[in-house]
Structure 1
């Protein structure tokens, strides 16, 4: 939903959160552990990531098609393995590659607690995530978020406008009254392009502080006084 721009200090009615890197520890931590465990040459992964997900990447790269559900995990695993090299020259095992890449992902308890507090304050909280074939903890996220919008399920992906517009439509909240939180700058810019407010997530404490300035009653720190 679109509308007139809201004052920058107007309270928000809904918060939309990314999953990996926002509700979890940084994705790079899991990637670094996988690179070390599998003996991946880091530069080979960086090259593939830049070619398939960088700002200059053409539309329809393997990552784009994975995120929209056009590629299966097995198909993507094979394509990525073919782009990677190992430190000792062994071929990269494609089977289970993404599962190994994400094996180190852990939830951030501080962010989950923040979601609970927002809900208690009457704020709508939604999830908007680009899926890399991830197995989401559906019992957890379905209980915490409404709506849940996952790229591979809807055939759309961040940072393109349609997936934000779909999320806003499902929320039924004007774009200017929604704050989007993501750890990737292109996704933050994509949200702003459709009129949403957006915050680049670095850690739970700074995200909480940003939200406390916009959500009446939210404490700026877990044990602090209400804002």
Structure 2
């Protein structure tokens, strides 16, 4: 069955989730805590992010190479630190930049509860994540999510089509039977380009409500919460 054979209103067979910013709290909050703690000039970080990650960024930026595993975390840390400035003019310590950047990122219990409920309803749940050298809670996610597709491990990255196609092949479902959830719009658009349905994640309540419209038996609010 091709994605064109699956009606847009058909129940989803599989949900594919991003990690950072979807299964965790907002990444921007962890970044803000790191910027404050390290005294980083916010504009220097924003400028670097635009140059390396925006839709107009050329192929092969340090972020692209980090996400596909071509750069080690230590190599990326050094490149990023060299682009950053601090408020008081001190050099940025290149050792452990990414570790400090993600230090305040925590799993979102509401989203992990949602994964459990989806699985109990017979829906396959997978992970598709662009890795920035994150330390994933592998024991926890490997027990809940199948397949687990991490960009640095497969040499592919969102929003390019091949990583979505690889995930669908590992799931064994048609693109139109899968719903992709990500907090970054380019990645949502990339999923739609290969025929997947997709939802831009803002928070757990709105994502749950969106999935409840497509997954029979899933409540729009958590068990015990007012409808």
TM exceeding 0.5: yes
Unaligned runs of 5+ in 2: none
C-alpha distance in structure 1 between counterparts of 2:136 and 2:8, whole Å: 34
The alignment status of 1:44 with 2:44, answered yes or no, reads: yes
- The separation in 2 between residues aligned to 1:164 and 1:143, in whole angstroms, is 21
Separation in structure 2 between the aligned mates of residue 132 and residue 5 of structure 1, nearest angstrom: 36
Distance 2:2 2:105 in 1: 35
Matched, 1:100 2:100: yes
User: Secondary structure of the residue that 2:37 maps to in structure 1?
Assistant: helix
1:13/1:123 contact within 8 Å kept? yes
CA distance in structure 2 between the partners assigned to 1:12 and 1:3 by the alignment? 12
CA distance in 2, matches of 1:112, 1:141: 9
- Could you tell me how far apart the structure 1 residues matched to 2:24 and 2:2 are? 30
Alignment of 1:7-156 (within 5 A): 7-156=7-156
2: distance between equivalents of 1:4 and 1:203?
A: 30
For 1:40 and 1:30, locate their aligned partners in 2 and report how far apart those are by CA, in whole Å.
13
| 1:3 to partner: Cα distance | 3.3
| Helix, strand or coil at the partner of 1:146 | coil
Runs of 4+ off more than 6 Å:
none
Deviation at 1:8, TM superposition (A): 2.1
State TM-score, norm by structure 1. 0.97
CA distance 1:180–1:99, change in 2 (3 Å): same
Shift of 1:135: 1.0
Contact 1:156/1:162 (CA < 8 Å) preserved in 2? yes
Q: Please state how far the C-alpha of 1:223 moved relative to its aligned partner.
A: 3.0
